[in-house]
Structure 1
Amino acid sequence: MNVLRQAARSLRREFLAGDLLTLFAALVLGVAAMTAVGTLVDRVTLALTSSAAEVIGGDLGVQARAEPPAEFADEARNRGLAMARLVTFPSVLFHGESSQMATVKGVDGAHPLRGRLRVASDAAGLQASDAGGPPPGEAYADPRVLAGLGVSVGDSIELGSSQVRITRVLLSEPDASGGLMEMAPPLLVHRDDVEAAGLLGPGSRAGYRMMFAGPPQAIDAMREWLQPRLAPGQRLVGVEDAQQGLRNAFDRAGRFLALAALLAVLLASVATALAANRFALRRVDTVAILRCLGARQRDILASLALQLVLLAIPACVLGIGLGMLAQVALVEALGSLVPARLPLPQATPMLAGAGIGLLILLGFGLPPLLRLRGVPPMRVLNRSFATLPATSLLAYVAALAATAALAVYATGDVQLAAWVLGGLAVLALVAAAAGATLLWLLGRLQARLHGPWRLGLAALARRRGLAVVQLVGLSLSLCALLLLAVVGPGLLGQWRDRLPPDTPNHFLLNVQRDQAGAVEQALRGMGVADPDLQPFGTGRLVAINGEPPQRMAVEGQDDGNDADRPLNFSWRHTFPPANTLLQGEFWSEASDAAEASIEEGWARRYGVGLGDSVTLQLGEQERSFTVTSIRKADWDSFRVNFFVLLNAGAVGDAPYNLISSFHLPSGNTAALAPVVREFPNVSVLEIEALLERVREVIERVAQAVQLVMGFSLAAGVLVLLAALQATAGERRYDSAVLRTLGARHGQLRGAVLVEFGVLGLVAATLAVSAAAVIGVLVSRQLFELALSPPWPALLAGGAGGIALSLLAGWSGTRAILRTPPMLALRQA
C-alpha cells in the first residue's frame, strides 16, 4: 500500500465533503488571526525599540524637578560622553491680545544628541531642513502656536518678561515621548532665554533633564555610576521610557485585538476537533474493509494522518497570507497609533501562526484517528466499535496547553489569556458535567413520555458521549460568539462613554485663595456651570504608622525611602465626584476628626490600609491622619483627582492654592486670556486636543478590533456547524431504521427538533451565563472598565443560538426525508 499516493488520492476525492472542508477553513482562520495580530505587535515593538534613543534625544538621561548637579556633567565629560541640558514647563504665550498655552522647552546648543530636529522657514513646511537648538533670542514654534497666536515666521512673541522671535516652524523633534498625549504644542527656545524670562522661580512646574550619548559600554558604565548617586526626586531616563504614552495607548488596543485573536484560535481548535471526530467516524467502515483486504493498521493510520498533514500545508500558507493582508489593514485602521516608519515583518509571528495551525491539526485532529486503531476487521459484519483510548485524551490536553502557550506568545498578554481561556475551560467542564447529568435524568424520564419527545430524548441518551461533545462545542462557540458580538462592543462602548461631550477640557492652576471669587465669577460668565475650585497643597509624606515611608515592590520596582518626595494633596467636606468608595466610610460634613481618604493605587504602593496613620508635613507643621476610607479615582474622567484627601475640618491653616477643571466649547480658550492677564500667576492648560486624540484612539481601535473579530466570528460559525453536524451520520441511520419500521415524517421531524432544542437550550443557558461572568471579570480586571452584563443582548444571542440549533435539526430532517430508507442505511 503506497501511503502517500493513497492519502493524496483520498484527499482529492473527499476534500469537498463537509468534514475536511470545515477542518481546512478552521485552520486558515486560526492561523490568519494569530499571524495578523502577532505580526502587528511585533512590528510596533521593533519600531518603538529601534527608535527609542531618537525619541528621547539621547541614550541616557537624568530627570528631576531641579537642575541635576554639575558633578553628573563632569563625570560624563570625563567618560567621553556628549551631554545636553533641557528644561520643560508649561507657559502662556502672548502676542497682542492673543494668547496660547504652550510647552516651552529650553535647550542648549548640543540638543539633540540623538535623532533629528526638523524645521522649516515657511508655515507650510515646504522648505524643511535639519537644525540644532535655536540660538539665543530665537524660537522654533509648532504650527499650532502660530495658528493660536495669529503670527507667522519672523514675528516676536511674549515669553514671560522677555520676547523671542520665531525664526523657524518646528516640524518634528526628539524628546517627543509624549507626542500621542501632548497637552500643549511645543515652543523650542534657548536656555538663556528661559532664564531671562524669569519663569523658573519658586513654584514653577519645570522639569529638568540632563541627557548623555555615547558608546553602549560607556552608557552602561555611566548608568552604574549614576544609580547610587541619585537623590530623592531624581530618576534615570532610558530607551525603555520612550513613547510611554504610545505604549500605554497601544496596550489597551493590543488587549482588544488579543481578545479577538484568542477566541479565534480557541474556536478554530474546537471546530477542528469536532470536524476531525466526524472525519474519523465516517471512515470506520473503510478502515475495517482495508483491514479485511490485508492492509496493515499502521499504513491505514499513516494514510489518514497524512491526509490531514497534506491539508494543513496549504491551509497554513493561505492563513499566513490572509494574516499578512489583515495586518496591513490593521496598520491602516490604527493609523497614527502606530509609528509612521514600521520595520518589515519578521518571520517569528508567521512561524508562530503556522505552528499554531499545526498544533491545532495534530493536537485536535489526531486524537480521533487514534480511535481507529481498535477497529477490527469483523466491523464489516458487526457494528462494534472501540471506545476512545486514554492516550487520545492526553493528546487533547497537551494540544490545548501548547496552543494556549503559543497564543500567549503571539499576543504577548498572559493575563488576558489566563482569564479568557480559563473561563472557557471552566465552561467546558461545567457543560460536560451538565450534559452527563442531563442525559442521566433524561434516561430516567424518557420512559414516561410519548411520541416525538420520547424518540428525541432517547436519541440523546443513546449517544451520550457524542451528545456531551456536541453540548460542549455548542456552549463554547455560543459563549465565544457572545463575547465577540455583545461583550466586545460593550467594552468599546464603555471606553467611549468615559469621554462624554462635556468632559473637562481645561485646567486652571495656581489660583490664589484671595483670587478665588473673581476667578469663579469670570468662569461663570463664560458659561461654566460649576467651576469647582479645589484646594491644592504640596507637602511631604513624613511617616506611615510612625515609620519612614517605604514603597512596596510593585511590578518589580522598589523606589526606596520616600521621606523627601513632594506629595500633592487636597481636602474637602464631601465625597469627591469621579471616585468610588471601596473600603471604609467617608467622613461627614460636620466632622473635624483627623481623617484621610486614600486612593487604592497609592494605598497599594505604600501598603496602607484602613486604620493606619499617615503623617504629613503641611507647611511648617506636621499632622497625623487616620486612614478611614480607600477609594478608586477615575483618572480618565479628566476631573481633578488626588491620591490623598484630608478632612477639611482637621487641616487648619495649611498653605495652598486652588485648581479647577471645567469644560468650555471648542475654540473658546481665548476667552480666558483676560483672566490670565489680570492674574499672571494663573496658568491655563487646554487639553481639547488630547481629548480629541483619545477619542480618535478609541475609534481606530474599534475598527481594528472589528477586523480581527471577523475571523473569530467566522470560526464561531464553523464551530456551530461542526457541532450541529457531529451526529449527522448516526441520526441518519436511526431515522432510516425508524422509517423502515413505519415512523411518520412528522414523528421524525418532531424527534429531531426535540433533540436539537434540548441541546440548544442547555448550551444557550450555559453560554449566556459564562459570557456575562467572563465579560464582567475581563472588563474590570484587565480593561479597568465597569461593564454591567448587557442582559437583553445576551438573551437575544442565546435565543438566536437556540433558533440556529432548531434550524439545523429541521434542515437535517429534510435531507433525511428526501433519502430512501434503503439508501440511507447504506450511506450510514
Structure 2
Amino acid sequence: MIRGLLYGLKKFWSEVFSGDLLILFLSIVLAVTSISSVGFLGDRLKSSMQMQASSILGADLVLRSASKIDSKYLDLAAANDLDSAEMSTFLSMIITEDDNLLTSIKAVTASYPLRGELKIVNSQGAKIKHFGSPEPGNIWIERKVLETLELMELDKVSIGNKNFIVEGIIEDYPDRNSSFVGFYPVAIVNIDDVDAMGVIQTGSRVVYRNLFSGTQDNLERFEKLLEEIPANIRVQNALDVGDNLGEDIANSTTFFNLASLFTIIISVIASMMAVRRYASRNLLHTSLMKVFGASKLFILGHQIMQLTLVAIFASSLGLIFGYGLQHLLLSTLQGIINADLPPPSSRPVILGFITAAFVIFATASPYIKILSETEPIRILRNDFNIKLSSNLMIYLVAFFTMFGFLGALFQDIKLIIYIVISLILVTASLYLIGRLLIYGLSRVKFSYGTGWKLGLKNIVQRGNDSILQVIIFGLSLLFLVVLAETRTDLVDSWTETLDEDTPNYFLFNIQEYNLDPISNYFKDQGTIVPDFTPLIRGRLLSAARPGSDDVNFDNLMEREANLTWRNQLPLSNSLVEGEWWTNGNEVAEVSIDREIAESMNLKIGDELTFSAGGKTFSVTVSSFREIEWQSFSPNFFFILSPAAGRELPNSYITSINLENSQKFMNNFTNRFPTITSVNLEAIIEQGKSSLASASLAVQYIFFLTFIAGILALIASVYSNRDQRTKETAIMHAIGASRALIFKSAASEFLILGLLSATTAIIFSIALSSVIFIQFLDLIYSPNLLILGLSYLFGIGFIFIAGVISIRKSIYASPMITLRDS
C-alpha cells in the first residue's frame, strides 16, 4: 500500500495534465469555488446580521409592552449576570417660544444603549462624551428638530410641564424605526424627567422597553425563565431581528444556494465523465502492472494517492478563487449590506475540502474498485471496456451519499428532495428517449453512401455510450436553463417592485376637515388626487373561537394595532382565504394579514375584540390577505368592514407620487402646517441601488455555474474520444474521405444535441415552476426568449464541441493512430 501511494505521488503531475484528471481537477475547483464563495459570504453575513440585529435592538434581548413592565425582570436579569437598561418612547410636542414640533421622545436610563453606539455631537460636529442619557433637565435632539425649530445649543425648550436645555445633537443611535414613532424626529431625555413632564396620561400611547445584554449562555438561561411572561409583554432577541434583515439579501442568498447546488451537481456530472475516461484509459496500464506483480493494495494506493492529491490541490485553488469571488460579491452587495463585515470563520474552508472529498467519492469510488480488481487476462482478451452493471450497488451508495451530503450542507431537505426527484425523473426519461432513439435507428436500413447516414449508424453502434451522452447533455442543459430562467425572472421581479409610480411621500395626521382642501389643492396643482385611508389607533384585546373553549392564540393579545376600514380590497392586497365582504355596511367583520393570522393561530370565523376611541367592539374574521409591502402604499394588518369602523374616531393617511417633489412639498407644508409629511425618496433610491447590486451579484454566481455546465458538456463530448479516434483511423485506412468522416460526426452530434436540448427545455419548465412557487414565492411564466436561446445554444454548443473534438483525429495519420492504439 505504501509503495502504491509513493508511486501515485510520483506519477501525479504527468497524469494530472493528461486531460482526464485535468477535467476532474477543474470540476472540483469549480465546485469548491462555488460552495466556498457562498460559504464565506454567508458566514460573514450571518455574523454581521447578528451584530447589526443587536444594534437595531440596542440590546441582545428586549421586553416590549404598551404598559409599564414589572421591575422584577430587572432583578431577575441582575441575578443572571445580565446588564440592563430601561426606555420609554412616546410622541409629544417640543415647544419653543415661537414654534413647536411633534417629536418621538426617548426617555432612557444612563446604561442605554447596551449594544450599538449613541453618537452625540455639538453644533461644530465634535463628539460629546456622555453616559447614555443626558443629565436631568437636559435634552439631546436630532438635527431636524434643531433646524425646524431654529434652535442652538443651550437654548430652552419645553415638553409638557418640564423645561429643558438643549445640550447636544443626536448624530446616530440604535433601535431606529422600532415602533410607531419611527417616522418622527427623535429627542432623548433622562427617564427621571418623565413624571415632571406630565404628558403621559391614561390612554396615552407609550412603548415601554427593558433592554438586556450579556453572554449567550446567560441570555438563554434568562429567556427560559421568561416562558410564563404575561401576554402583553413581547420578547425580542437579536436572532429574531437578524432573520428579518435584508429581504434583498435573503433573495440573493436563495439564488446563491440554488446556483451552488446546481454547480456541484454539474461538477459531479463532469467529474463522473472524466473519471470514467480516466479509468478506461488506465485499464491497460493497470493490467500490465498486475502482470508484473502489482497487488490489489498497490493499485488502490496508486489511485487513492492521485485522487487525494487532486482533491487537496483543487480544493486549495477553489478556496482561493472562492475567497476572491466572495470579495467581488461583497463589493456588489455593499449597497445592501452597508456595514463592515467581520472576517469569516474556518467553516467554509472545511466545507470546501469536504465538498471535494465527496465529489471524488461519489464519482470515482466505483472505478477505483474496478481498477483494483482488474485481471491480467484483459490484455490477452483485448478487453478494456468499463462495465458498471456488476457495481451498481456501490454507485447507488455513492449517489445517495452525495445527496445526503448536499442536504446537510445546504440544510434545505425540501430543496434537495425536489432536485433529487427531478434528477431521477429526467435521467429516466432521457434514458428511455435514448433507448427509443437507438431502437428506432436500428430498424432503419442504412446505405454507406452519405455521411449523415453513417453518423446515425454510429449512434446505434455505440448504443450505451450514445444514451449516456444524451443523459449528460440533457442534465447539464437542464440545470443551466433552470438557473438562467431563475436569474432573469428574479432580477425582473426585483426591478418591478420599485417602478416609476412608487409613492415617494407619506402624509400623516390628516383630519376629516382637511380632506376637501387637500383634494382641491392637488387638483389645482394638476396632480393626481390622493386616496385617503382612515387610520384608527386601537388595541387588540382578545380572540375567541365559537364552539371551542381551549384555543391557543399565542401571546399577541392586548397588542397595539393600527386599524382601518374599507369598502374595497386595496390594490396592493390579494385574498388568500375567505371572502371580501359584500354586505360590509351591515356586518362587523375584519380581514387580517396572512402572516399575522398564522402567528396568532386564527381561522376564518374567529371573533376578535378591539378597543378604539374609548369603545370596545367585536368583529368576525372573514378573510386573510397577502400584502405587497414593497408598494409603499398604506397597508394594515387589520382592515375592518364599514359597519365596524366607520363610526370610530380616526385620522387619515395617504401616499403620493410627485415629480419635482421638493418644491411642491415645501408649498404644501406651508399651506397645511399641521400635516406630517415623510419623504421616501432616499429609501426608494437605496432600494433601487440594493436591487441593482443584488442583480449584479446574481450575474457573477450564474456565470460560475455556466462555466461548470460548459465543462460538463466538454467532458461528455470527450468521454469517448479515444474510440472515435480509432474508428476514424480505420475509416481512413479503408478509403473514407475526410469530408465523409466529418459529415458523419457532425450528424451524430447534431442528433444528440437536438434530442438532449429538446428534453432539457421541456423538463426545465416543470422544474422552474416548482422552484419559483415553492422556494422564491414568485409566479412562474415560461421565459420564451431564455428558453429559445438556451435551446439554440445547447444544440449549437454540442455540435461545435463534437466537431472540434474529432478534428485532430480527422487530420491525424491513420498508421500512427492505429499503432499507438
Matched ranges for 1:643-722 at <5 A:
643-648=637-642, 653-665=647-659, 668=662, 671=665, 678=672, 680=674, 682-722=675-715
- What pairs with 1:148-163 in structure 2 (closer than 5 Å)? none
Alpha carbons of structure 1 residues 592 and 159: separation in structure 2 relative to 1, 3 Å: same
CA distance in 2, matches of 1:208, 1:564: 14
Q: 1:432 maps to which residue?
A: 431
The answer to whether 1:173 aligns with 2:166 is no
Note the alpha carbon deviations across 1:468-521, whole angstroms, 9 max, x for none. Answer: 322222222222322344421320221121111321233333434444333444
Deviation (angstroms), 1:141: 4.3
Specify which of 558, 574, 581 is matched with residue 580 of structure 1. 574
Summarize deviations over 1:691-738 as a string: whole Å, max 9, x none: 233323222223333333333222122112112222222222233333
Most deviating of 277-286 and 732-741: 732-741
Which has the higher mean CA deviation after the structures are superposed, 532-541 or 346-355? 532-541
Q: Secondary structure at the match of 1:258?
A: helix
Question: CA separation of 1:203/1:302 partners in 2, compared to 1, >3 Å: closer, same or farther?
Answer: same
Offset, 1:208: 1.9
* One-letter code aligned to 1:725: Y
In structure 2, the residue matched to 1:822 is 815
* Cα distance, 1:303 vs structure 2: 1.9
Name the count of aligned residue pairs. 815
Question: Which residue number in structure 2 is paired with residue 329 of structure 1?
Answer: 328
What secondary structure sits across from 2:343 in the alignment?
A: coil
1:3 aligns with 4
Q: Could you tell me which residue of structure 2 aligns to residue 556 of structure 1?
A: none
After TM superposition, list the pairs within 5 Å mapping 1:410-425 onto structure 2.
410-411=409-410, 413-420=412-419, 422-425=421-424
Deviation at 1:816, TM superposition (A): 2.5
Q: Residues 311 and 353 of structure 2 are in contact (CA less than 8 Å); yes or no, is this contact kept in structure 1? A: no
Tell me if 1:14 matches 2:28. no
Pairing 1:246-285 to 2, within 5 Å after superposition = 246=245, 248=247, 250-285=249-284
Question: Which residue identity lines up with residue 277 of structure 1 in the other structure?
Answer: R
The amino acid across from 2:748 in the alignment is E
Task: Tell me if the contact between 1:550 and 1:606 (Cα under 8 Å) persists in the aligned partners.
Answer: no
What SS class does the counterpart of residue 283 from structure 1 fall into?
A: helix
Task: Determine the structure 2 residue equivalent to 1:571.
Answer: 565
The answer to whether residue 639 in structure 2 is matched with residue 640 in structure 1 is: no
- 2:362 and 2:398 in contact (8 A); partners too: yes
Partner of 1:316: 315
Question: Structure 2: which amino acid aligns with 1:806?
Answer: F
Structure 1, 803-812 or 300-309: larger mean CA deviation? 300-309
Shift of 1:421: 5.5
Aligned residue number for residue 133 of structure 1:
133
Does structure 1 conserve the Cα–Cα contact (< 8 Å) formed by 2:486 and 2:772?
no
Residues 418-817 of structure 1: pairs in structure 2 closer than 5 A:
418-420=417-419, 422-445=421-444, 451-524=450-523, 529-537=528-536, 538=538, 540=540, 542-547=543-548, 550=551, 559-560=554-555, 564-583=558-577, 586-587=580-581, 597-606=591-600, 612=605, 614-617=607-610, 620=615, 622-625=617-620, 627=622, 630-648=624-642, 653-665=647-659, 668=662, 671=665, 678=672, 680=674, 682-817=675-810
| Counterpart Cα distance in 2 of 1:149 and 1:270 | 68
User: CA 1:502–1:134 in structure 2 vs 1: closer, same or farther (change >3 Å)?
Assistant: farther
CA distance in 1, matches of 2:93, 2:494: 32
Deviation at residue 265 of structure 1 after TM alignment:
1.7
CA RMSD in angstroms comes to 4.0
Contact 1:37 1:411 in 2 (8 A): no
Give me the whole-angstrom Cα distance separating, in 1, the residues matched to 2:398 and 2:103.
Answer: 56
Structure 1 residue 805 displacement after superposition: 1.0
Contact in 2 for aligned 1:520/1:533 (Cα 8 Å):
no
The corresponding residue for 1:25 is 26
Q: Which amino acid aligns with 2:568?
A: T
Tell me, in whole angstroms, the C-alpha distance in 2 between the residues paired with 1:787 and 1:165.
Answer: 59
Gap change, CA 1:676 and 1:773, over 3 Å in 2: farther
Moved more, 219-228 or 817-826: 219-228
Kindly tell me: are residues 685 and 471 of structure 1, through their superposed partners in 2, closer, same or farther at Cα, counting changes over 3 Å?
same
Residues 487, 699 of structure 2: 8 Å contact kept: no
Deviations 1:308-334 (A, max 9, x none): 222222111111222222223333332
- Alpha-carbon separation, structure 2, partners of 1:178 and 1:244: 15
Q: Following the alignment from structure 1 to structure 2, what is the Cα–Cα distance between the partners of residues 500 and 262? A: 32
For structure 2, which runs of at least 5 residues remain unmatched after alignment? none
Matched to 2:120, the amino acid is: V
Per-residue deviation, 1:792: 1.2
Report if the CA contact (8 A) 1:535-1:658 is conserved. yes
1:363 aligned residue: 362
In structure 1, distance between residues paired with 2:430 and 2:96: 71
- Partners of 2:407 and 2:413 within 8 A in 1: yes
Residue-by-residue CA offset, 1:394-435 (whole Å, 9 max, x unaligned):
444444444445445555555554545554454334333433
Per-residue deviation at 1:614? 3.9
Deviation at 1:307, TM superposition (A): 1.9
* Amino acid paired to 1:37: V
**Residues 582, 45 of structure 1: alpha-carbon distance in 2 compared, 3 angstrom cutoff:** closer
**Equivalent residues in 2 for 1:23-172 (5 A)?**
23-49=24-50, 56-73=57-74, 83-89=84-90, 104-114=105-115, 116-123=117-124, 125=125, 127=127, 129=129, 131-142=131-142, 166-172=166-172
How far does residue 272 in structure 1 lie from its aligned partner after superposition?
0.9
Q: Find the residue that maps to 1:227 and give its secondary structure.
A: coil
Q: How far 1:683 sits from its partner (Å)?
A: 4.3
- In the TM superposition, what whole-angstrom CA distance separates every residue of 1:540-566 from its partner, at most 9, and x where no partner exists? 4543345479457xxxxxx25x55445
- Deviations, residues 231-265 of structure 1 (Å, cap 9, x unaligned): x3311233434555536554333223222222222
CA separation of 1:420 and 1:657: change in aligned 2, threshold 3 A:
farther
1:289-308 correspondence to structure 2 within 5 Å: 289-308=288-307
User: Shift of residue 359 of structure 1?
Assistant: 1.3
CA distance in 2, matches of 1:184, 1:395: 66
Range moving further from structure 2, 336-345 or 773-782: 336-345
Q: Once the two structures are superposed, what CA deviation does each residue of 1:127-154 show, in whole Å capped at 9, x if it has no partner?
A: 4655421234544345566677776656
Give the TM-score normalised by the residue count of structure 2: 0.87
Change (3 A) 1:688 1:419: farther
Cα distance in 2, alignment partners of residues 29 and 185 from structure 1: 50
- Deviates most, 74-83 or 328-337: 74-83
Q: Whole-Å Cα distance in 1 between the matches of residues 408 and 101 of structure 2?
A: 47
CA distance in 2 between counterparts of 1:495 and 1:97 reads 47
Structure 1 CA distance, aligned partners of 2:162 and 2:445? 94
- Tell me: CA distance 1:676–1:818, structure 2 relative to 1, closer, same or farther (3 Å): same
Q: Deviations over 1:728-773 (max 9, x none)?
A: 2222223333333333333322222222112212221232233333
- Distance in 2, Cα, partners of 1:389 & 1:582: 51
Residue by residue over 1:319-357, the C-alpha shift from the partner in whole angstroms, topping out at 9 and shown as x without a partner, is 122222222333333226447453333222201111101
Quote the residue 1:354 is aligned against. 353
- Partner of 1:190 in structure 2? 190
Q: Is the 8 A contact 2:248 2:694 kept in 1?
A: no
Deviation at 1:804, TM superposition (A): 0.7
Q: Cα–Cα, structure 1 residues 750 and 404, in superposed 2: closer, same or farther, change >3 Å?
A: same
Which amino acid in the other structure matches residue 4 of structure 2? Answer: V
Contact residue 533 and residue 660 of structure 1 kept, 8 A: yes
What displacement does 1:158 show?
A: 8.1
**Distance in 1 (alpha carbons) for counterparts of 2:159 and 2:419:** 54
Q: Report the Cα offset of residue 204 of structure 1.
A: 6.0
Q: Any unmatched runs of 5+ in structure 1?
A: 553-558
